[in-house]
Amino acid sequence: MRCLSTIIIGAGQCGLAMSAELTARSVEHVVLERGEVANTWRTERWDSLRLLTPNWMSRLPGQAYDGPDPDGYMSMPEIIGRLSAYAGRIEAPVMTGVSVRRVSPGGAGWRIETTAGNFMCRSLVMATGACNIATVPGCAAGVPPGISMATPVDYRRPSDLPEGGVLVVGGSATGVQLAREIRLSGRPVVLSVGEHVRVPRRYRGRDIKWWMEAVGLLDQRYDEVDDLARVRRTPSLQLAGMPGMLDLNALGALGVEVVGRLVGIRDGRAQFSGALANHCAMADLKMNRLLALIDDWAMRQGLDGAIEPERFEPTRVPASPRLELDLAGGEIASIVWATGFRPDFSWLDAPVFDRKGRLVHDGGIVLPGLTVMGLPFMRRRKSTLIDGAGADARDLADHVLAGLGRRAA
C-alpha cells in the first residue's frame, strides 16, 4: 500500500488547479484519474459543444489565455488540448487509467481502493466535478416503448437520433443548445421549459460574463448570500458558446415549439405545466434586474454614455401552449433529457451525506482532511467554471496545508 500526504481524485480543471497550488506549497501528492487528463471533456460531451465562457476567462493558476481569439469560445478539442498542455507544464503527478472503487476512513486519514492498488493519505481532495451523472426524472419510466431516449452525457450529434420529432426536456444552457442544434438538423423539436435564467450573450459591447465579473457577481462568496441552498439550485444561464442571444425567442424563430415544464407522463401522454408564461415573465424580470445592476455599476465607474443601455424584447409566449403531447402518436421519435446533472460519490463510504444523498460541505470542506472541488457555488458563484477552479484551489490548498500541520508561506 502506497502512503502519501495528499491525494487528488480527478484530473480536470479542478484537480489540476489544486495540483498546481499544492506543488507551489511543496505538498507531496498524486492525482488519480480514471481515464486521461480532461476525461469528462473527452468522453461525456457532445461534438459541437463550446465553452459558455469567453476564452480570456480560461484562466488557471499561473496560466492566462494568450491565444489569438480572446473573445471566442473554445471547442472541445481546444479545451482538451489546453488542459493537457497545462498538466504537462505544471508537471502534475497524474496517474491515468486509475479508477477509484472505494474511499473510507482509515487510521489518521483515508484509505483509497483503486484498480491500481490501495493508497493511504492524510488529506483527500475530491475533484471529480458536478456533472458526472445526468439526472432523468422518474416519469421517464412512462415513456412508451419504441421512443429513443438520450441524455447530454451520451448524446453526440443529431444524426445519432432516429428520424422524426424530438422532445427536449429542460430549458437551461444544455437544453437550449441541443434544441437549436437538433432543429437545425431538420427535425421538428418541442422544448419543455420550466424555471430558467435568460441573459444576453453580449451587453453594451461586452460579453455578459465580462460584466458579471466586473460588478463582482462571479466572485460572490458562498457565505455572502442569504439562501445558499436556493442559489445552488439556480438553473444555468441560457447561453451558448457563439455570438448572438440564444433564448426562447431565438428558438421560436427557428421553429422550435416551446411548451411548459414537464409534470408527468400518463398513459403515454406527456403532460406540461400551464405556468409557461409565468416562468418566462420571471426570467425577463430577473434579466432586467441584472442589466439594471450593470447599468448602475457602469454609471458609478464613469462608463455610462460610452455605450448606451439596452433592453430586450420580452419572451414571446404562445397564446395557448399545448398542455399534452401524445408520445405514442408518432409525432415524437426521441426524447433528450436535458434535466441537469449531479456528482457521483458512490465510491465514498463515509457519513457525509444528507437524507437526500447530497454531499454536505462548508465551502468545499467536508471533514478534516476531506475537501471537494467544482460543485455549484461551492465557494464562489464561479466555482463550476474553469476560471473558478484556481480561486477555490488557493483557498482549499491553504486548508489542506493547515490540516497537515504546516503554515502557508
Summarised one tens digit per residue, pLDDT across range 138-150 is 999 999 999 999 9
Q: What local confidence, expressed as pLDDT, does residue 406 receive? A: 65
Q: What local confidence, expressed as pLDDT, does residue 219 receive? A: 97
pLDDT digits (tens, 9 = 90+) for 153-176: 999 999 999 999 999 999 999 999
In percent, the amount of the chain with pLDDT more than 70 equals: 99
**Grid cell at residue 306:** 460610452
Rounded Cα distance between 3 and 117, Å, is: 11
Mean pLDDT of the chain: 95
pLDDT score of 9 more than 90 = yes
Looking at domain 2-132+343-403, its CATH architecture is 3-Layer(bba) Sandwich (3.50)
**Grid cell at residue 108:** 489518521
How is 82-122 classified by DSSP, letter by letter? HHHHHHHHTT--EETT--EEEEEEETTEEEEEETTEEEEEE
pLDDT score of 408 more than 60 = no
pLDDT digits (tens, 9 = 90+) for 298-329: 999 988 766 788 899 999 999 999 999 999 99
Domain ranges of the chain: 2-132+343-403, 133-337
Rounded Cα distance between 407 and 401, Å, is: 6
Q: Give the H or E element holding residue 401.
A: helix 386-403
Mean pLDDT over 372-397 rounds to: 97
Q: Is 386 helix (H, G, I), strand (E, B) or coil?
A: helix
pLDDT digits (tens, 9 = 90+) for 261-302: 999 999 999 999 999 999 999 999 999 999 999 999 999 998
pLDDT score of 342 more than 90 = yes
Rounded Cα distance between 44 and 24, Å, is: 31
pLDDT digits (tens, 9 = 90+) for 77-106: 999 999 999 999 999 999 999 999 999 998
- Environment class of 304 (CB within 10 Å of its CB; exposed 0-12, middle 13-18, buried 19+): middle
Assign 197 a pLDDT band (cuts: 50, 70, 90).
very high
- Environment class of 260 (CB within 10 Å of its CB; exposed 0-12, middle 13-18, buried 19+): buried
Assign 407 a pLDDT band (cuts: 50, 70, 90).
low
> Buried b vs exposed e over 388-407: b needs ≥16 C-beta within 10 Å?
bbbbbbbbbbebbbebbeee
